[in-house]
Amino acid sequence: MSAESGIPTFRGAGGLWEGYRIDEVATPGAWEKDFKLVLEFYNQRRRAVLDANPNRGHEILAELEDDFDISIVTQNIDDLHERAGSSNVIHLHGEIVKARSTVDPELIYKLESSEIEVGDCCEKGSQLRPHIVWFGEEVPMIDAAAEICARADFLVVVGTSLQVYPAAGLIHAAPLDIPKFIVDPNIPQNTGVQNLKAIAASASTGLQQLKELLSEFDD
C-alpha cells in the first residue's frame, strides 16, 4: 500500500528487510540481544516514514468515506492512511510513530520526534521500545479486525500475497456471499475465496478502478 510513497515493502529479496535479517531487528530475541541496534533500525525507518507522503491510493480510500462506512485494517506500520484522511484505521502490526513500555504493553506514547533514544523510559522506568508487533509476539488487534471483516458488506484487499498469517486469514472471516476485491500487481493464485474479483494493478491505479466499480454499490 505504501510502496508508491517510497516506503519499502517488509520483505525484500532473500528475506531481508532493508539489508537486515528479520531475526536481527524484528523479534523479541533481537531486542534482548542488541536493543541499541533495534532502536537505530526503527529510528531509520521512522525517519523515512516522516519524510514520505500519502500516495493516491491512500487518498482514494479516504475519499471513499464520503459514500461508505470504511474501516481500514493494515499490516503497515506507517501513518500514511491517517495523514491521507482515513478516520478508522486498525494497525495489526503496530505504529512506528509510537513507542511503548517494555514492562507494560498498555503504556503507549506518541513520539514527538523521529528518535527513541537509549535511556528514554516509560513512567515505570523501563526503556521504551518501538510500538511494533514483532515475529513471535501476539497480534492484539486481530480479533477486532476479524469482527470488522465478519460484518462487512464488501471487502477489499490491497497489496498482499495473502501468505502472512494471521492477517491473511482475515479474508476468510468475511461472509462468503459478499463481493470481494484484491488489488495487487501480482494476484495470488488458488486463494479458495468465493466472489473474489482481481484487479492486477498498483494500489493507486487499482483503487481508482475500484472506486469506479463501487459506484454501483453507492445507494
The number of residues in the chain equals 219
Do 174 and 153 touch, CB atoms closer than 8 A? no
Name the residues annotated as catalytic. 93
Count Cβ atoms below 10 Å from residue 198 Cβ, excluding itself: 16
Largest Cα separation within the chain, whole Å, is 55
Please spell the DSSP secondary structure of 160-198, one letter per residue: --S-STTGGGGGGGS-TTS-EEEE-SSPPS----TTEEE
In angstroms, the CA 60 to CA 158 distance is: 12
Rounded to 5°, angle at Cα 86 from 178 and 47: 125
Count the helix, strand and coil residues of the chain and give each as a percent rounded to the nearest 5.
35, 20, 45
Do 110 and 31 touch, CB atoms closer than 8 A? no
Q: Which of 172, 176, 148 is nearest to 92 (CA)?
A: 148
